[in-house]
C-alpha cells in the first residue's frame, strides 16, 4: 500500500503517517518524489485497513498495490528509476548504455584487447565473466579470482566500467570490489539467498531473466533485491526457452515495453544469448533499441573463433562497430542517444 501525501505536506505530517504505519505493525518507507512525497507500507501480506491513515492531515490518496510485487512496481513509484554509475553514466535515463565484451575473461591479452576494441567502438561498460555458470561441469568454469584481477587491470587500462557475474552469496563481496555492476545470471534469477545478499551491497545489480521465467517472476526476483535495501536494479531480457531450435532462445523483446509499463526499473536486452547466433545479433540489437531497451549487453571477442565460451554468438570488433553505427540512428529516431564512454577511473 502507498500513502500519497499532498504537494507541500509538512515533515510533521509525513512523520505522523510513518508513526501510524508502525503502530499498525508494518514498516514505513517514505519516498520523497519530484511532485510529492509518498510513504510505502511493507511487511503486510494482505490488504491493510487504511481508514486510520486516510484520515490523517496531508494525506491525499491511498493506493492499494494490486500486484504481488510492490517496490518494483510503477504503482509504487511512477517515476522511472535511473541507475547512476561512476563517471556520470545513467541507465534508465535518456541514454542507451552499451555493455560489451567477451563471454568470459580468458587471458590478460584477450581481455585488454577486447576492452580496447569495444571502447574504440563506443561501448561504455565492459562485460566479461570471471565466474561462469556453465550447463556442463566439464566446460570452462571461468578464471575466478584471477579473472576478477584481470578485469581490474582492464578497467585501469581503459577506464571502462565493469559488469561481471557473482554466482553465489559468498562471492558477492569480492565481485563488488571490482564490478561497477554485479550481474546475476539467468540460471540464478531465483537463487534467493544470492538476491538477498546482492540487496545489501552498494553496487547496482544486473538481473537477467531466467530461462523459463515469466515477467512476473523476474519482477518478484528484483523485489528481493529492493526489499533488502538496494534500489539500483537493471533488468535484462536474454531470451527464454522456446520450442524452436532455430535460435538458442526465444528473444522476447516484448518484455521491454511490458516491463516499462509494470515497473519503474530500467531494462536492457542481450541479443547474444537471446539468439545464440552471431549473424542474428546485429538485427536483434537494432530491434532492441527500437523497442525502447535502456541498454544492450553484447558479446564481443577479439577472435570469436578462439573463444573459450559462447564463440558462436560473439561478434568480432568490426561487426561490433557495425552494430554501434546502426544502433545510433535508431536511438535518435526515438529521441534517445547511445551513451558515450566516460573514462571513469574512480
Ligand atoms: C553471460 O552473460 O555470459 C551469461 C552466462 O548469461 P545468462 O546468465 O543470460 O545465460
Ligand atoms: Mn555468454
Index of the ligand 1 atom closest to the CA of residue 187:
8
pLDDT of residue 117: 98
Are 73 and 79 contacting, i.e. CB atoms less than 8 angstroms apart?
Answer: no
Q: Which cell numbers in the block locate residue 13?
A: 505530517
Name the nearest CA neighbour of 159 among 300, 343, 292: 343
Q: Which ranges of the chain have pLDDT less than 50?
A: 345-346
Nearest CA to ligand 1 atom 6: 185
pLDDT of residue 346: 44
Ligand 2 centroid – CA 328 distance (Å): 24
pLDDT of residue 48: 80
CA distance 290 to 296: 12
Are 110 and 68 contacting, i.e. CB atoms less than 8 angstroms apart?
Answer: no
Ligand 1 residue neighbourhood (C-beta within 6 Å)? 103, 129, 133, 185-187, 208, 238, 273
Index of the ligand 1 atom closest to the CA of residue 297:
2
Nearest CA to ligand 1 atom 10: 186
* DSSP H or E run through 301: none
Rounded to 10 deg, the angle between the 278-291 and 255-262 helix axes is: 30
Q: Tell me: the pLDDT tens digits for 228-269?
A: 999 999 999 999 999 999 999 999 999 999 999 999 999 999
pLDDT of residue 77: 93
pLDDT of residue 2: 93
Index of the ligand 1 atom closest to the CA of residue 208:
9
Neighbours of 123 (CB within 10 A): 29
Ligand nearest to the CA of 314: 2
Report if pTM > 0.85: yes
CA distance 275 to 238: 8
Half-sphere exposure in the Cβ direction for 137 (13 Å, CA):
0
pLDDT of residue 335: 98
Q: Is 212 exposed, middle or buried (0-12, 13-18, 19+ CB in 10 A)?
A: exposed
Amino acid at each position: 500500500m502507498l500513502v500519497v501525501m499532498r504537494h507541500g505536506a509538512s515533515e510533521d505530517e509525513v512523520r505522523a503517517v510513518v508513526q501510524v504505519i508502525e503502530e499498525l505493525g508494518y514498516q514505513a518507507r517514505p519516498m520523497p518524489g519530484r511532485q510529492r512525497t509518498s510513504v510505502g507500507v511493507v511487511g503486510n501480506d494482505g490488504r491493510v485497513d487504511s481508514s486510520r491513515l486516510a484520515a490523517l492531515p496531508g494525506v491525499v490518496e491511498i493506493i492499494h498495490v494490486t500486484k504481488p510485487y510492490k517496490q518494483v512496481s510503477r504503482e509504487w513509484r511512477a517515476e522511472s528509476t535511473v541507475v547512476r554509475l561512476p563517471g556520470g553514466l545513467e541507465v534508465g535515463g535518456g541514454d542507451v548504455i552499451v555493455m560489451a565484451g567477451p563471454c568470459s575473461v580468458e587471458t590478460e591479452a584477450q581481455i585488454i584487447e577486447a576492452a580496447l576494441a569495444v571502447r574504440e567502438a563506443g561501448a561504455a561498460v565492459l562485460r566479461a565473466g570471471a565466474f561462469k555458470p556453465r550447463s556442463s561441469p566439464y566446460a570452462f568454469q571461468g578464471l575466478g579470482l584471477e579473472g576478477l584481477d584481470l578485469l581490474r587491470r582492464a578497467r585501469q587500462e581503459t577506464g571502462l566500467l565493469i559488469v561481471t557475474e557473482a554466482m553465489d552469496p559468498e562471492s558477492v563481496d569480492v565481485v563488488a570490489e571490482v564490478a561497477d555492476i554485479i550481474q546475476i545470471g539467468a540460471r540464478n534469477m531465483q537463487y534467493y539467498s544470492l538476491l538477498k545478499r546482492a540487496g545489501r551491497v552498494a553496487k547496482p545489480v544486473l538481473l537477467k531473466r531466467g530461462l523459463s521465467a515469466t515477467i512476473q517472476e523476474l519482477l518478484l526476483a528484483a523485489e528481493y533485491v529492493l526489499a533488502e535495501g538496494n534500489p539500483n536494479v537493471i533488468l535484462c531480457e536474454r531470451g527464454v526457452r522456446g520450442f524452436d531450435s532455430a535460435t538458442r532462445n526465444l528473444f522476447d523483446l516484448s518484455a521491454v515495453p511490458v516491463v516499462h509499463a509494470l515497473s519503474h526499473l530500467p531494462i536492457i536486452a542481450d541479443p547474444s544469448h537471446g539468439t545464440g547466433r552471431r549473424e542474428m545479433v546485429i538485427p536483434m540489437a537494432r530491434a532492441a533499441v527500437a523497442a525502447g531497451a535502456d541498454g544492450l549487453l553484447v558479446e564481443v571477442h577479439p577472435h570469436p573463433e578462439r573463444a573459450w565460451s559462447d564463440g558462436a554468438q560473439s561478434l568480432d570488433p568490426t561487426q561490433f562497430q557495425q552494430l554501434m553505427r546502426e544502433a545510433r540512428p535508431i536511438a535518435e529516431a526515438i529521441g534517445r542517444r547511445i551513451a558515450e564512454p566516460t573514462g571513469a577511473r574512480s
